[in-house]
Amino acid sequence: MEVIKTSIDGVVIIEPKVFKDARGYFFESFSQREFEEKVRKINFVQDNESMSSYGVMRGLHFQRPPFTQSKLVRCVKGAVLDVAVDIRKGSPTYGQHVAVELTEDNHRQFFVPRGFAHGFAVLSETAVFQYKCDNFYAPQADGGISIVDQSLGIDWKIPVEKALLSEKDTKHALLKDFESPFSFDMELYPEFNNKKTTNRL
């Protein structure tokens, strides 16, 4: 797999090596060994899948410590615009985002580390979206920031005023009113460290 760095350290795009012939295609969608060699140590414990129609926007979600999650996401049918927003207080990229289009044709995956809010918008008629998480879902730790916050400067590639949002996602705070549970010097992967270090990857 090829790992493509982005404008925010630790947030990466992954392109698998796809083998195509007259029968179709094959690729290795995840290798623990290769991921840890090229991205970071990880222990995914839960896989999720959603199906959404055009105009659906989900996010921007995160889980508060100690239940915070990394996510490795991909779109297996259709197309989505996927976004990670840095919400680590004190980070030089606080409030900044990385956006990537994930489609059934490009087979790209997007790694969203702990300390980031995550969301996506559906660009195709329907989309099937899959993601791996390195912590179990904990409803009591749910958090979010507004996915339609214009101060984030995200071009969602759909008319935001016509977007379909859950009731929960309409109630998240704007970034300016948001008190983040994360800081740039917080240890977000303590299970992989024997001594205190930062969460920078």
Q: Which two tokens stand for residue 183?
A: 């800081």
Give the integer Cα–Cα distance in Å for 128 and 75.
6
E strand or H helix that includes residue 158: none
Give the integer Cα–Cα distance in Å for 196 and 85.
25
**Tokens 């999720």 identify what position?**
48
Q: Which two tokens stand for residue 84?
A: 């990670």
Is 131 catalytic? The answer is: yes
Cis, peptide link before residue 190, omega less than 30° from 0: no
Give me the catalytic one of 61, 97, 118, 172: 61
Q: Which two tokens stand for residue 79?
A: 């197309």
Q: Reduced to 3 states, what is the DSSP secondary structure of residue 139? A: helix
Is 61 catalytic? The answer is: yes
Give the integer Cα–Cα distance in Å for 70 and 132.
8
The arrangement of strands across the sheet holding 126-133 comes to 2-5, 12-15, 109-112, 71-77, 126-133, 46-53
Give me the catalytic one of 97, 107, 118, 131: 131
Give the integer Cα–Cα distance in Å for 139 and 143.
9
Catalytic machinery residues: 61, 131
